[in-house]
């Protein structure tokens, strides 16, 4: 072997060893401090930084650098598993009394951006407000995730650095919900309404300026509790409404990082062709396409009609036609390997809409026939959807599928201003909907979207059996057993066509190669703290 060949072999071997150890070359690099990043935003923050009053990524993602949670999903790991939960404001935590009490031991010497000290009072303030406890000292204008905290009986600030969550019954999944990007801690000394216009957090970056409709500027928080972090000096979230301009800005290097959920498979392919050096990571969004059917009104109060709709829609056909392959099939929890609790491919195969399209449609026609609907006596319904392209594309595909089994659906586009009001009131027959899951946790999903009486249970589906199953899985302490219970629950919900899930969307998260330490998660809502991100340029 020649000397030059030896020289060549050394880095190759080193790389092989690093890969073998599970260390990528990027991770092996030493982070550099300093620099600035421009990050894409597709609309202005609404309502400001008030994360607890919002369920949109347009609020949570650009607010992430300002806040901290008690615990959070490890920002450097893509998978959001319970094992990947790490402490943030909580240094450590402990389940006690057979998962009835959750005790957090808080970090000391943490300061709010206005200089005041962070204590257990802030944690109690936040969660009393969220669960609308009688002793709460503040109230949110709207409270979309109240159901997440319904099992908390009391939050006790035992001392300035200890907080105890007392639960009505065991609920191991609570920790997952506390790790979501939707669960930041608010300051007790700040009126929650203030967060609509400003942000007082403990996070790695402080808001410098929010120019409405233009950008949000952050500067490094010099007092951040994690020494040496953040690496970057500043961040700018640039609001660009026009999709073509957003892509051009990323392509031209005016933006360094795209927006979660922004890049479709087709767009990613075009971007890669235009700028081969861009780093594009396919991840799950934790957003599903689904069908909502009003179970309180004819004809969808008849389970057979609902099941027929579910059988009629070819899930794989939809993924190819509407998403060009940029989505995956799944039931009510995000499927593996993107989620922890989803059904396996083999389990899905027996569910409505996953078999051979011709067989599924024949089954749908049979069910409709049993409900008195036939080609001679077709069912005419109005398919409502939001007047947004991604909704309309999906609805159009579904309408075509339904037509093939004898359901004549006409499309009704509803403006965003009216959509949720209409869905909550049940002023519709059938609708094409998108649902984002703030965290891959069954409790968050089922209590929010399937529980009797929940305002976000747009189908108004209510089953005693399913409620019992939801409660049972929620308090199951053995993860394997819980997984089995959830598989049964998911099959039950899909077979009853409570809210047929059509697919789970993928995102092709894009950034320039000099952006390091930014790991997109399989859930768009829970990454973007930016403390570990640095710039290799």
Closer to other proteins at the Cβ: 418 or 478?
418
Residue 67 or 419: the one with the smaller Cβ distance to other proteins is 419
User: Between residues 168 and 212, which has the closer beta carbon with respect to other proteins?
Assistant: 212
Minimum Å distance from CB 224 to other proteins? 26
Torsion angle of C-alpha atoms 422, 423, 429, 432, degrees rounded to 10 = 120
| ∠ Cα 212 218 219 (to 5°) | 150
Question: How near is the Cβ of 196 to other proteins at its closest, in Å?
Answer: 5
Q: How far is the CB of 25 from other proteins (least distance, A)?
A: 26
User: 183: cis peptide before it, omega within 30°?
Assistant: no
Q: Which is nearer to other proteins, 53 or 74 (CB)?
A: 53
CB nearer to other proteins: pick between 120 and 332 = 332
Output the smallest distance, CB 56 to other proteins, in A: 5
Task: Report the run of H or E that residue 103 belongs to, with start and end.
Answer: strand 101-106
| E strand map for 415-468 | 430-436
Nearer CB in complex with other proteins: 184/353: 184
How many CB atoms are closer than 10 A to CB 415? 10
Residue 390: strand, helix, or coil? helix
| DSSP 8-state code for residue 121 | H
Nearer to other proteins, 56 or 162 (CB): 56
Q: Tokens representing 529?
A: 């703290």
For residue 391, say if its preceding peptide bond is cis, omega within 30 degrees of 0.
Answer: no
Residue at token pair 């007082």: 200
User: Is the CB of residue 329 less than 8 Å from the CB of residue 346?
Assistant: no
The least distance separating other proteins from the CB of residue 417, rounded to whole angstroms, comes to 3
Q: Using an 8 Å Cβ cutoff, are 360 and 353 in contact?
A: yes
Q: Of 214, 295, 287, give the one whose Cα is nearest residue 38.
A: 214
H and E: helices and strands count for the chain: 16, 18
Please report how close the Cβ of residue 240 comes to other proteins at its closest, in angstroms. 5
Smallest distance from other proteins to CB 436, Å: 9
Which residues here bind other proteins, judged by CB under 8 A? 44, 46-48, 53-56, 59, 141-144, 193, 196-197, 211-215, 236, 238, 240-242, 244-245, 248-249, 251-255, 274, 415-421, 424-425, 455-456
Provide, rounded to whole angstroms, the least separation between the CB of residue 438 and other proteins. Answer: 10
Per-residue b/e over 330-364, b at no fewer than 16 CB within 10 Å? Answer: bbbbbbeebbbbbbeeebbeebbbbbebeebbebb
Pick the closer one to other proteins by CB: 199 or 360: 199
Residue whose CB is less far from other proteins, 307 or 385: 385
Please compute Rg for the chain using Cα positions.
24
Please enumerate in sequence order all residues whose Cβ is within 8 A of that of 304, keeping only pairs 6 or more positions apart, or say none. Answer: 367, 368, 370, 371
- Cβ 309 to other proteins, closest distance in Å? 23
* Closest CB to other proteins among residues 112, 195: 195
CB 397 to other proteins: min, Å: 23
Instruction: Quote the CA–CA distance of 205 and 189 in Å, as a whole number.
Output: 19
DSSP states along 454-472: -TT-TT----HHHHHHHHH
Structure tokens at 273: 């062709």
């Amino acid at each position: 072997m020649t000397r030059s060949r030896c020289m060549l072999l050394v880095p190759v071997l080193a790389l092989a060893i690093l890969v073998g150890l599970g260390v990528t070359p990027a991770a092996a690099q030493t982070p550099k401090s300093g620099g600035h990043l421009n990050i894409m935003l597709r609309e202005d923050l609404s309502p400001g930084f008030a994360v607890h009053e919002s369920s949109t990524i347009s609020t949570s993602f650009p607010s992430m650098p300002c806040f901290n949670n008690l615990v959070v999903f490890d920002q450097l790991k893509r998978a959001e598993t319970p094992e990947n939960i790490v402490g943030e404001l909580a240094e450590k935590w402990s389940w006690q009394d057979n998962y009835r009490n959750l005790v957090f031991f808080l970090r000391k010497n943490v300061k709010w951006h206005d200089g005041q000290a962070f204590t257990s009072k802030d944690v109690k303030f936040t969660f009393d407000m969220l669960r609308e406890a009688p002793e709460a000292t503040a109230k949110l204008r709207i409270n979309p995730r109240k159901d997440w905290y319904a099992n908390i009986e009391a939050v006790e600030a035992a001392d300035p650095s200890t907080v105890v969550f007392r639960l009505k019954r065991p609920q191991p999944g609570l920790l997952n919900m506390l790790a979501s990007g939707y669960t930041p801690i608010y300051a007790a000394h700040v009126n929650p309404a203030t967060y609509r216009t400003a942000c007082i957090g403990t996070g790695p970056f402080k808001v410098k300026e929010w120019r409405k409709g233009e950008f949000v500027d952050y500067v490094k928080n010099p007092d951040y509790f994690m020494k040496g972090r953040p690496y970057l000096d500043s961040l700018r979230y640039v609001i660009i409404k026009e999709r073509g301009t957003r892509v051009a800005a990323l392509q031209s290097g005016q933006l360094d990082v795209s927006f979660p959920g922004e890049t479709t498979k087709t767009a990613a392919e075009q971007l890669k062709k235009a700028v081969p050096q861009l780093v594009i990571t396919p991840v799950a969004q934790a957003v599903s396409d689904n069908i909502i059917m009003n179970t309180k009104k004819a004809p969808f109060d008849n389970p057979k009609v609902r099941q027929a709709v579910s059988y009629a829609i070819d899930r794989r056909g939809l993924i190819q036609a509407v998403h060009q392959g940029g989505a995956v099939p799944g039931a009510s929890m995000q499927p593996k390997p993107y989620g922890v609790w989803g059904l396996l491919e083999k389990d899905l195969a027996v569910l409505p809409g996953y078999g051979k399209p011709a067989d599924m449609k024949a089954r749908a026609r049979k069910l409709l026939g049993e409900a008195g609907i036939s080609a001679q006596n077709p069912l005419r319904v109005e398919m409502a959807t939001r007047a947004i392209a991604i909704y309309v594309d999906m609805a159009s595909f579904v309408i075509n599928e339904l037509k093939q089994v004898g359901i004549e659906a006409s499309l009704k586009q509803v403006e965003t201003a009216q959509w949720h009001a209409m869905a909550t009131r049940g002023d519709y027959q059938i609708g094409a909907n998108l649902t984002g899951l703030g965290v891959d946790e069954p409790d968050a999903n089922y209590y929010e979207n399937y529980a009797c009486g929940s305002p976000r249970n747009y189908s108004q589906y209510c089953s005693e059996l399913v409620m019992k199953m939801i409660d049972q899985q929620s308090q199951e302490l053995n993860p394997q057993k819980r997984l089995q219970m959830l598989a049964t629950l998911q099959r039950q919900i899909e077979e009853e066509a409570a809210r047929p899930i059509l697919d789970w969307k993928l995102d092709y998260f894009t950034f320039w190669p000099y952006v390091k330490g930014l790991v997109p998660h399989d859930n768009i809502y829970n990454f973007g703290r930016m403390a570990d991100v640095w710039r290799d340029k």
